């Protein structure tokens, strides 16, 4: 096995769906993997793992969490649409706390799990690149848009480099017609994180997290310097997806890139 390129990587959201996938796949890149979440995590498998539960809304706790790390893979926070108050603590305050801790402790590389919901109100008929205007579709999407602004600010001000991955739909296989365009395999997700950790001079780079799907709404030409070459495609799953009843042509799932997120809520009472 090659010598790990990092001494200690922090993975937030380690108990989540993608966190569990990355927990195993990040190990070759670091001597120690520090794992954090507020949800229960499986016990550490040995001295190469550290469990450090943390509420991202707690600034002092996040500062202690980041101490001693030399890279952060930030997948923590609320991952679906909720009220603004629910999203505020972990996603908005929490991401700010993480960047402040990175500044204080000299961490210079962050992988930020952004989302396609940053641009969710664009129509599926459009093709977007990283320079396209953001059109968040939800409070969740707003929180990820704020995270991208933090990444730009902390690079311009403090030289902290970030890869913001606008994750499409990362599951074992696509689950509906929209995901034929947005699907991101676990192997391709891992490749994106690896490129973000090891590629030189990324500044703040935004990349759309999708596999090499036949129908795509996203153009990654502005992230070409990453050398990301997706290996998988949703095409082998097309027949089984299309065999199910399909939503109407005017259903948000078929109209907007963010799908059903554009109509979630409001959250009152």
Q: What angle do CA 47, 188, 25 make, to 5 degrees?
A: 5
Whole-number Å distance between alpha carbons of 233 and 230: 8
Q: What is the dihedral of CA 121, 219, 190, 164, to 10 degrees?
A: -60
Written as one string, the DSSP assignment of 194-250 is HHHHH-S--SEEEEEE----SS-SB--GGGGGG-------SGGGHHHHHTSPPPPTT
Give catalytic residues, as residue numbers: 140
Q: What angle do CA 110, 28, 200 make, to 5 degrees?
A: 40
As a whole number of Å, the CA-based R_g of the chain is 18
What φ, ψ does residue 257 adopt, rounded to 5°?
A: -65, -30
């Amino acid at each position: 096995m090659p010598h790990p390129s990092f001494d200690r990587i922090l993975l937030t959201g380690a108990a989540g769906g993608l966190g569990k996938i990355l927990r195993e796949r990040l190990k070759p890149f670091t001597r120690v993997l520090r794992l954090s979440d507020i949800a229960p995590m499986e016990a550490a498998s040995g001295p190469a793992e550290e469990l450090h539960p943390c509420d991202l809304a707690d600034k002092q706790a996040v500062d202690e969490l980041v101490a001693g790390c030399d890279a952060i893979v930030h997948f923590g926070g609320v991952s679906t649409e909720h009220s603004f108050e629910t999203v505020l603590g972990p996603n908005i305050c929490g991401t700010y706390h993480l960047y402040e801790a990175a500044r204080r402790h000299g961490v210079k590389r962050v992988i930020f799990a952004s989302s396609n919901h940053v641009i969710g109100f664009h129509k599926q008929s459009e093709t977007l690149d990283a320079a396209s205007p953001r059109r968040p579709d939800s409070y969740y999407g707003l929180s990820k848009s704020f995270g991208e602004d933090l990444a730009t600010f902390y690079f311009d001000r403090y030289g902290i480099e970030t890869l913001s991955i606008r994750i499409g739909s990362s599951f074992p296989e696509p689950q509906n017609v929209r995901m034929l365009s947005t699907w991101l395999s676990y192997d391709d997700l891992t490749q994106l994180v690896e490129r973000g950790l090891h590629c030189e001079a990324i500044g703040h780079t935004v990349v759309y997290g999708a596999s090499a799907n036949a129908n795509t709404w996203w153009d990654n030409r502005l992230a070409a310097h990453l050398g990301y070459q997706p290996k998988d495609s949703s095409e082998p799953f097309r027949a089984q997806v299309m065999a199910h009843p399909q939503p109407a042509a005017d259903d948000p799932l078929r109209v907007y890139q963010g799908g059903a997120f554009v109509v979630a809520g409001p959250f009152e009472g």
